[in-house]
Amino acid sequence: MSTWKNFMLQDSSSPLMEQLSYFHDHALMILVIITVLVGQLMFFLFFNKFLHRNLLEGQLIEIIWTILPTITLIFIAIPSLRLIYILDEVNNPAITIKTIGHQWYWSYEYSDFKNVEFDSYMIPTNELNNFNFRLLDVDNRIAVPFETNIRMLVTAADVIHSWTIPSLGVKIDATPGRLNQISFSLSRSGIFFGQCSEICGANHSFMPIVLESISPKYFSKWILKMIEI
CB neighbour list of residue 81: distance below 8 Å, 6 or more residues apart: none
Predicted confidence (pLDDT) per residue in 82-97, tens digit:
888 888 777 788 889 9
Check residue 35 and give its pLDDT: 94
Q: List the beta bridge partners of residue 53.
A: none
pTM to 2 decimal places: 0.79
**One-letter amino acid for residue 187 of the chain:** S
Among 152, 171, 162, smallest CA distance to 101 is for 162
Same domain, 72 and 109: no
| Co-location of 146 and 173 in the same domain | yes
Residue ranges in the chain whose pLDDT is less than 50: none
Q: Where are the alpha helices (DSSP H) in 11-56?
A: 15-47
Tens digit of pLDDT for each residue in 122-132? 998 888 888 88
- For residue 33, the domain's CATH number is 1.10.287.90
My answer on whether 150 and 62 are in the same domain is no
Give me the pLDDT at residue 1, please.
63
Question: Of 88, 111, 145, which residue is a domain's last?
Answer: 88
Helices and strands (DSSP H and E) totals, the chain: 3, 10
**What's the pLDDT tens digit per position in 13-40?**
888 888 888 999 999 999 999 999 999 9
